[in-house]
Amino acid sequence: MSVLSGKKVLLGVTAGIAAYKTAFLVRILVKKGAEVRVVMTPSAKDFVTPLTLSTLSKNEVLSTFTSEEDENAQWNNHVELGLWADLFIIAPATANSLSKMAQGTSDNLLIATYLSAKSPVYFAPAMDLDMYKHPSTVETFEKLQSYGNILIPAAHGELASGLVGEGRMAEPEAIVDFVEKDLASKLPLRNKKVLITAGPTYEAIDPVRFLGNHSSGKMGYAIAEAAAGMGASVILVSGPTSLHAEDPNIQLVHVRSAAEMYEAVHKEFKQCDIAILSAAVADYRPAIIADQKIKKHEGTLTIQLEKTQDILASLGAMKKDQILVGFALETENELENAKSKLQKKNLDLIVLNSLNDPGAGFGGDTNKVTFITSNNKVIPFEVKSKAAVADDLLQYIINELHV
């Protein structure tokens, strides 16, 4: 999956002949799974039509502060556009627009949006070879780079003037490739291996029956997706669920019982940097699994249970420099119970969810959690989607536990 998948990409088109290539650029970005909006300078419309770009991006293309046709039209909010974007690519970027960006000359919607943008800004210059080498242009590039903007170098080749040299806008494929590589190199969990457990375990009673629980696996799968999105290589050891892991950076290992989960986790733990155990592992299993289906008889049936191994505690006992995170699902004395689990199992962090909180627990798409750290910090959160909880958890591990 591309790092651009799900990203909000704002494309800024300025008035160079290479603007005709932005139709391909929009198409590639959309194919990569990005949501694309386009802002153009008014004269860029001489080189490519807004209709082409709005059709390909499936979004309205903006080029002026208000609509030209409708005098009662709404103001096109450059601040909203600038804040919407996860990244802003300005391509083609002409010498004129680049100079305005460097000086803060906000005389059109594109430059005003640039000045409001909080996201990373990439610019792909397109100009004639002498313009490209002019000291003024070189100074502009340096100034923009000093603002943190990222130069996508122009290519060498035949230019619109007929001259041959440097100054051609990088090809759309090369622009996308450049941006993908740059984004990937900055992902916070790149080169990290993360082990996650999710879902319930099923403990067999006989060939057709088992002891299980209501865990859906959604929390663990959300953590796996979030970690993969942050560049980690993820091993997701999952009990039986109906969920699928979409990201190719997630290696899914299916297990059924606590014993199988124990095996799978221990096979991977030593090579991991972070282990997050969110599975609802059965604490007990039938001491004897009947070979044949148990027939019903008069009276009651007693099944003897024996303890399963505590996977999390076994990792806590052997961990070296890994970060180990557990979950605690409690119904009473929540904080004390969670704190005692954190200590007993030698964890760096425990995520407490209380079944008493509305919006928390099994099955749903939301969760309400409290983080408790090994130095007894207690950090409560509001009800959030499980995806947002996963983000909070990984951000906390990255920023506070310094993985």
Catalytic residue flag (residue 353): no
Binding range to ligand CTP, per CB under 6 A, among 33-41, 68-76, 324-332, 375-383: 324-332
- Nearest approach in angstroms of CB 375 to ligand CTP is 19
Alpha helices in 345-385 (DSSP H): none
**329 is an interface residue for ligand CTP by CB under 6 A:** yes
Binding range to ligand CTP, per CB under 6 A, among 22-30, 221-229, 241-249, 307-315: 307-315
What is the C-alpha radius of gyration for the chain, rounded to an integer number of angstroms? Answer: 28
Q: Which of 16, 239, 326, 361 contacts ligand CTP by CB under 6 A?
A: 326
Nearer residue to ligand CTP within complex by CB, 226 or 328: 328
Angle, alpha carbons 270-261-381 (nearest 5°) = 80
What 3-state class would DSSP assign to 337?
A: helix
Nearer residue to ligand CTP within complex by CB, 178 or 262: 262
Q: Which of 319, 339, 341, 368 contacts ligand CTP by CB under 6 A?
A: 341
**258 is an interface residue for ligand CTP by CB under 6 A:** yes
Give the phi and the psi of residue 234 in degrees, each rounded to 5.
Answer: -110, 135
- Nearest approach in angstroms of CB 90 to ligand CTP is 46
Binding range to ligand CTP, per CB under 6 A, among 34-42, 45-53, 248-256, 325-333: 325-333
**306 is an interface residue for ligand CTP by CB under 6 A:** no
What 3-state class would DSSP assign to 250?
A: strand
CA 36 to chain centre: 17
CA 246 to chain centre: 12
- Nearest approach in angstroms of CB 400 to ligand CTP is 19
Query: Considering CB under 6 A, how many residues would be counted as binding ligand CTP?
Result: 15
Q: Which of 312, 352, 390, 403 contacts ligand CTP by CB under 6 A?
A: 312
- Nearest approach in angstroms of CB 341 to ligand CTP is 5
Q: How many Cα neighbours within 13 Å face the side chain of 323?
A: 21
Q: Which of 339, 326, 309, 320 is nearest to 275 (CA)?
A: 326
Which of 59, 96, 213, 346 does the annotation list as catalytic? 213
Nearer residue to ligand CTP within complex by CB, 101 or 274: 274
d(CA 44, CA 323): 51
Nearer residue to ligand CTP within complex by CB, 310 or 348: 310
**198 is an interface residue for ligand CTP by CB under 6 A:** no
**390 is an interface residue for ligand CTP by CB under 6 A:** no
Strand stretches in 292-368, DSSP E: 305-307, 323-330, 349-354, 366-367
- Nearest approach in angstroms of CB 308 to ligand CTP is 5
Question: In the window 271-300, what residues touch ligand CTP (CB under 6 A)?
Answer: 277, 279, 281, 283
Give the phi and the psi of residue 349 in degrees, each rounded to 5.
Answer: -160, 140
Place of tokens 């046709």: 69
Binding range to ligand CTP, per CB under 6 A, among 40-48, 236-244, 326-334, 374-382: 326-334
**327 is an interface residue for ligand CTP by CB under 6 A:** yes
Q: In the beta sheet, which residues pair with residue 369?
A: 353
d(CA 393, CA 396): 5
Q: How many Cα neighbours within 13 Å face the side chain of 100?
A: 18
Nearer residue to ligand CTP within complex by CB, 170 or 352: 352
| Tokens encoding 172 | 């759309």
d(CA 162, CA 56): 30
Q: Which of 62, 33, 30, 29 is nearest to 172 (CA)?
A: 29
**310 is an interface residue for ligand CTP by CB under 6 A:** yes
- Nearest approach in angstroms of CB 205 to ligand CTP is 18
| Tokens encoding 179 | 């941006």
Q: Which of 205, 328, 389, 403 contacts ligand CTP by CB under 6 A?
A: 328
d(CA 78, CA 40): 12
- Nearest approach in angstroms of CB 112 to ligand CTP is 49
d(CA 234, CA 238): 12
Known catalytic residues?
213
Q: Note the residues at the interface with ligand CTP (CB under 6 A).
A: 197, 258, 277, 279, 281, 283, 308, 310-312, 326-329, 341
